[in-house]
Chain A
Amino acid sequence: MLGYLTLIFSCQLIGEVIVGTLALPVPGPVVGMVLLFIYLIIRGFVPEDLGEVAGGLQKYMSLLFVPAGAGVMMHFGLIGEAAVPIAAALVVSTLATIAVTALIMSRLMKRGN
């Protein structure tokens, strides 16, 4: 259990080092995800304990966004000044992106099968 938690932290740490050294435009944890993925390909299966650690971290993943979300209180002023363009852009763009991506992907996957 602890071993796989250490593995996950190590992947993130190595990811941060790679991103910093090569000045990559992605965050360290995303590179860490790729590293853990490569580890799994080499192992050839998901060890039971790793599956449990990952499941535990993901079960309440929403919680982990709460502290950053509360940061909205620092920007009430700025948001108020441009409330209309910001709100309209977020609503229209988020819904359009979900619809366009899902439609294209489902069509292409059907054709592929």
Chain B
Amino acid sequence: MENLRDTWVYLSASPLFHLTLTLVAFQGAFWLFEKAGRNPILNPVLISVIGIVGVLISTGTRYPQYFEGAQFVHFLLGPATVSLAVPLYRQLAKVRQSALAIGVSLLCGSLTAIFTAVGMAWLLGGGPDILATLAPKSITAPVAMAVAEKIGGLPSLTAVVVIITGIFGAMFGTFVLNAVGVKDWAARGFAMGTASHGIGTARALQVNEVAGAFAGLAMGLNALATAILLPVLWAIVF
């Protein structure tokens, strides 16, 4: 018993345990997702987060201690984002041909994301800090946090809101796209990337290569558009 406790103390302080926990949770979640015929409701990110948070709370582990191990996985997000240039390049002809459509849809999508989020929260009594936290929710976390801080939001809550937006979009995007009857893979992917950044892009990549390429493009462009538009809009409206 003594040995077991010593081993636990040792392991819970080493990166190996939380790194393995992350991989095991994701493997389990992905297995479930596949078993259910890749049903987007069983989003692997959501299921693994629930499992990991459950383990951390029940073992009394604090998040920073978990992240010390899990950061090795987190780190690969950067290189994975860079690598999205590859599917994008493979769609180069299509991207050039639809440049105007891309520009207009980006602007409309970006403004829709900002105004509907802020409008809904305002109607339901959200304070100014909550509104500013929600405004950049559709763009990739590091940019969203910087923009939220600039307009008076709470950066750490922004990171969470961004991730929930991504998961929610990945879960229900397919249903919305089917409901509005859009069949074109480029348009479907572009909408996912605009509304739910990298997690929407990861979902699009699971479904179709063209959708994945346009989602990655939309994620990058919307980060740029929102970072420029939002502080200006905020200064005008407030």
Q: Which residues of B contact A79 (CB under 8 A)?
A: 157, 160
Q: For residues 40 through 93 of chain A, which have their beta carbon under 8 Å from a beta carbon of chain B?
A: 40-41, 46, 50-51, 53-55, 57-75, 78-79, 82, 84-86, 88-93
Pick from A25, A70, A78, A103: contact of B143, CB under 8 Å: A25
Question: Interface residues of A: mostly helix, strand, loop or mixed?
Answer: helix
Q: Which residues of B contact A91 (CB under 8 A)?
A: 168
User: How many angstroms from the CA of A36 to the CA of B216 in the assembled complex?
Assistant: 13
**CB-based nearest A residue for B227:** A25
Q: Which residues of B contact A22 (CB under 8 A)?
A: none
How many chain A residues touch B (Cβ–Cβ < 8 Å)?
Answer: 74
**Cross-chain contact A89 with B121 (CB below 8 angstroms):** yes
Question: What per-residue 1/0 map shows which CB atoms of B62-87 lie under 8 Å from chain A?
Answer: 01001100110110111111111111
Question: Chain B interface residue count: which class?
Answer: 35 or more
**Cross-chain contact A57 with B102 (CB below 8 angstroms):** no
Q: Given contacts A25-B146, A65-B163, is CB(A89)–CB(B78) below 8 Å?
A: no
User: How many angstroms from the CA of A41 to the CA of B88 in the assembled complex?
Assistant: 11
Between A28, A35, A66, A69, the greatest number of chain B beta carbons within 10 A of the residue's beta carbon is seen for: A66
**Cross-chain contact B166 with A85 (CB below 8 angstroms):** no
User: How many angstroms from the CA of A66 to the CA of B29 in the assembled complex?
Assistant: 11
Tell me if B233 is interfacial: C-beta within 8 Å of chain A.
no
Q: Which residues of B contact A51 (CB under 8 A)?
A: 86
**Cross-chain contact B201 with A61 (CB below 8 angstroms):** yes
**Cross-chain contact A93 with B116 (CB below 8 angstroms):** yes
**Cross-chain contact B199 with A65 (CB below 8 angstroms):** yes
